[in-house]
Amino acid sequence: MKINISETNACKALFFSISFFVGLWAVRIPDIKDQINVDYTGMGYLFVIFSIGSVLTMIVTPKITQIYSSKQISFLSGLFISILWILIPFAYSFEVMAILSFIFGVCYGLYEVILNVQATSLEKKFKKPMMSGFHAFWSIGLLSGSLLTSLFLEFKINFLVNSITFVIILSPLIFLSSLTLKNNITDSLSFLSIFFNWPLFLVILFILSITAVFLEGGTDSWGSLYMRDYINADGFKIGLAAIAFNGSMVLGRLIGDKLNEIFGIYNFLVYSVIGSLVGSIILVLSSSLVFSIIGFTIAGFCVSSIIPICYTFGSSIKSVNPTVGITIITIGVYGVFMIAPPALGYIADFFGIKYVYIPMVILFLISSVIVILQQKLFKN
């Protein structure tokens, strides 16, 4: 069977476009912090508000998808995101930025569920590993957004021009791709199944996903501050954390499906978790630009396939509806940001910015033990 190019490309284009804006966010965080005049803890609360919007939306997404098509959800979410990124450079108070962050989180939460359900349905349809490839476009978008924003910073192009440029480039791609989506989610789902249908295997996938996003989200949210305030980088170098981390994630996800086939999905997961642990340890111990970049590169490459693997497993549990499985994992991913940002903000304020990677070391150590001890669950 030939892959329907328009269907798969529409999904890849949306992964790319939405993450491009996240790349803008990741590199401009120091500017946003200065713009609204808050400390690290205050920025942590801003990330929490974004996550609350995402998680609340994800909880009701299975019901929303029974009322509206994927095309409608994607189109309207893309419209709101485009408007938001024109408004964000004008937000000079924490309260206004918090409102915009919440709305961004709502739109982002909708995209996370519908795109991963679309991707897993295509993976099942064509009976081959594809999830890492879809997520590769997420990483490509994040890397591209980070790199271009870093160049805007290097040439001292202001935040507003940066945002408007990205909106002009990405909005047509988002709208056209949204209209091309074909797989609507039509399963009849119980709202309560999100809260009560949690077999042990799904709990383990939930833990793995929140561990991975602690590292991914921690770097997106704190990597540029780590570079500026601990490594003392400036200009283009501030963005090197996001560029190295997301560049290696792009490579990892582009070859992830092939590595999955070579090593087997379980062995590949074990290698990924242990490698992420090593990268996190390097970031805690590093005190130089070079070793920090090495740490970000190892961490990015190794963590790149963990969440795609969790989505593949989560959509294949016989006792759980695929949309519910993906929603639960995605809630875990963004639920982390309700706890992690203020916690990491407190760590940065009281112990130093480099210590934000200590929780990642602990979580990956625990995850390594769980994955090895529960081998039978992954192989059944």
| pLDDT tens per residue, range 56-75 | 887 787 677 778 888 888 89
Is position 214 within any domain?
A: yes
Average pLDDT value over all residues in the chain: 86
Q: Which residues of 290-327 are buried (b: 16+ CB within 10 A; e: fewer)?
A: eebbbbbbbbbbbbbbbbbbbbbbbbebeebbbbbbbb
Is position 84 within any domain?
A: yes
Answer yes or no: is pLDDT of 2 > 70: no
Nearest to 287 by CA among 195, 189, 357, 334: 357
| pLDDT value of position 350 | 86
Is position 137 within any domain?
A: yes
Write down the pTM of the prediction: 0.76
| pLDDT value of position 300 | 94
| pLDDT value of position 3 | 45
Is position 203 within any domain?
A: yes
Answer yes or no: is pLDDT of 189 > 70: no
| pLDDT value of position 34 | 92
Is position 189 within any domain?
A: no
Range of the domain at 336: 7-182+197-379
| pLDDT value of position 98 | 96
Counted domains in the chain: 1
Is position 191 within any domain?
A: no
CA distance linking residue 151 with residue 235, whole number of Å: 9
Question: With the C-alpha atoms ordered 4, 311, 278, 23, is the resulting torsion angle positive or negative?
Answer: positive
| pLDDT value of position 297 | 96
**197: phi > 0 → left, psi -120 to 50 → alpha, else beta; which?**
beta
User: What is the tens place of the pLDDT at every residue in 281-324?
Assistant: 999 998 889 999 999 999 999 999 999 999 888 878 877 777 77
Query: What is the token pair recorded at 263?
Result: 């090593």
Is position 190 within any domain?
A: no
The domain that holds 178 is classified in CATH as 1.20.1250.20
Is position 265 within any domain?
A: yes
User: What is the tens place of the pLDDT at every residue in 10-23?
Assistant: 989 999 999 999 88
| pLDDT value of position 341 | 65
Q: Are 248 and 300 in contact (CB under 8 A)?
A: yes
